[in-house]
Amino acid sequence: MTAVDSTQEPRRRRTGLIVTIIVVVVVLIAGGVTWGVLAANGSGSSSDDTSVAVGLRLEPTNLDIVETSGIALDQVLIDNVYEALLSRDDTGTITDAIASSHKVSKDGLTYTFTIRDGVKFHDGKTLKPSDVVWSLERIKDDDKANAHLELAAVDTIKADGQDVVLTLSEPSSTLLWSLTGRAGVVLEKAATNDIQTTANGTGPYRLTSWKQGDSITLSRFDDYWGDKAGVAKVVFQYFTDSSAEVNAVLSGDLQVATGVDPTLIDQLKSAKGYDLVKGKTTDKFTLAFNNAKAPFTDIRVRQAIRQAIDPKALIASFGAGVPLGGPIPEGDPGYEDLTDIDSYNPENAKKLLAEAGVPNLALTVTIASFYGTTITDVLTSELKDVGITLTVKPVEFATWLSDVYTAHDYDLSIVDHAESRDFGSWANPKYYFGYDNPQVQKLYQESQTATSESEAADKLKAAAKIVSEDAAAEWLFTSTSTTAVDDTVKGFPTDFTSARLNLKKLAVTE
């Protein structure tokens, strides 16, 4: 770990804020059509050359917002490059976006969205209601689409003038929320760009470059339908090493660092020129069990692992967070304090393992390498105390996606599930957890078709308690986040930063 002198005032970043814009044009040949990230009709000169460099930890494996999994895509692209029918603010309130207004019928079966006039894609083409219909139908009909199940209740999608009307086969308590994310993202039907490497959205920023393994650069889109972006360029710089990110802040190479490693915060406290801002999250650091394979098919093994872990000791080592105890974090519908279920009890954990016939168990935990070793060091020690030998297998995130998420080839895994309102994973036996409980699935479905928020939350609450009592995983903690923000940077979001970074209000002052 590189040492950082926290008493040194960081070199002021004024030169880092005034830069010469280098227009990066990525040209692809697709079907005989030349495609530029900055198409002639979609480009425009910026009124100033302000730039903000933002440090992030998790880089997307590719840019396909339709089929590629991973919150890293949502974090950078949604609201900034791509827009959905609806959006949501940092309090979770749903707002209109590409739709200028929306209404829901009293029976909850008809949703009408009036599409905003004058919305342009970054290639200069005007968005039409037919683009919205095509985009939603693509998600609805493609079972490989990441948000496919979120539109399960939608029966038909039709354009009626400037309106797009969705008719449902049954009420959906979560549809509006889903339409603030991938399920509601609108793409251009006629576009020919490769969405794995480029992006053609309608947001206030356009993608101008992606240097894999290094950075993603966004530039202001001057033909944006709403208020223009307050800065000309945003560079997302990716760091696999926490100390390197902190050093980049102190040296003036970054104006913002998100998700500052809690163990390194003290190194930033005495440095002048920026603020350390605490933020809310729905990040659920989860020790996932492969419920579909032995020995995790035995509930006693799962309970033993949970009871062997002391969340308070883990949080103390990590440096931030609150105990969780179940799959729904505080702030999401259906939350209940479940920390008493399978609470820390190493002596009983040993008894459970003996009863299960595995008093000396060897397991492997697969973890993306950017998470570091703090959590796995604590778990290795605590599990050893009850007779479990833990082998830590760090891998690149792309490998984690292919081996764990897709192929379900793992024993244990540790992931920060940052998405809000994602309980549906526990009602999906095909998800990488391998958890299959018909009662949970029934309660979840009933929550989806509930006609009131309170009824939906009650169903989720009941389902979440069953999942925790089944010891389907060990929910280590809900993290709290710290964002380092240069004092010249205004409007950078500091809540839920690992899930969404809406930069519409971002600005720089001298």
Span 109-167, pLDDT tens digits:
999 999 999 999 999 999 999 999 999 999 999 999 999 999 999 999 999 999 999 99
Give the Cα separation of 91 and 45 in Å (integer): 34
Higher pLDDT, 319 or 296: 296
Q: Is the pLDDT of residue 306 over 80?
A: yes
Mind listing the domains of the chain with CATH numbers?
A: 284-478 (3.10.105.10)
Interhelix angle 374-384/311-318, rounded to 10 degrees, is 150
- For the record, the structure tokens of 431 come out as 């998800």
Q: Is 403 exposed, middle or buried (0-12, 13-18, 19+ CB in 10 A)?
A: middle
**pLDDT higher than 90, residue 222:** yes
43 touches 232 (CB < 8 A) = no
Handedness of CA 31, 98, 72, 460 (dihedral sign): negative
What is the rounded average pLDDT of the residues 83-87? 98
pLDDT bracket for residue 6 (50, 70, 90): very low
**Nearest-CA neighbor of 360 among 379, 382, 386, 381?**
386
Return the bridge partners of 391, or none: 364
Instruction: Judge whether 308 and 349 are in contact, CB under 8 Å.
Output: yes
DSSP 64: -
Which residue, among 494, 509, 472, has the nearest Cα to 90 in the 3D structure? 494
Q: Is 45 helix (H, G, I), strand (E, B) or coil?
A: coil
Mean pLDDT for the stretch of residues 263-283:
85
Order of strands across the sheet that contains 284-289 = 388-395, 361-368, 412-417, 284-289, 473-478
pLDDT in tens, 363-417: 999 999 988 888 999 999 999 999 999 999 999 999 999 999 999 999 999 999 9
Contacts of 7 (CB under 8 A, 6+ apart): 270, 271
Percentage of the chain lying above the pLDDT 70 cut: 90
Tens of pLDDT, residues 31-71: 333 233 333 334 333 348 899 999 998 899 999 999 998 88
- Measure the CA–CA gap between 45 and 52, rounded to whole angstroms: 18
Mean pLDDT value of segment 442-446: 96
Q: DSSP string covering 378-438, please?
A: HHHHHHHTTTEEEEEEEE-HHHHIIIIIIT---SEEEEEE--SS-GGGGG-TTSTT----H
Give backbone dihedrals phi and psi of 300, rounded to 5 degrees, phi first: -65, -35
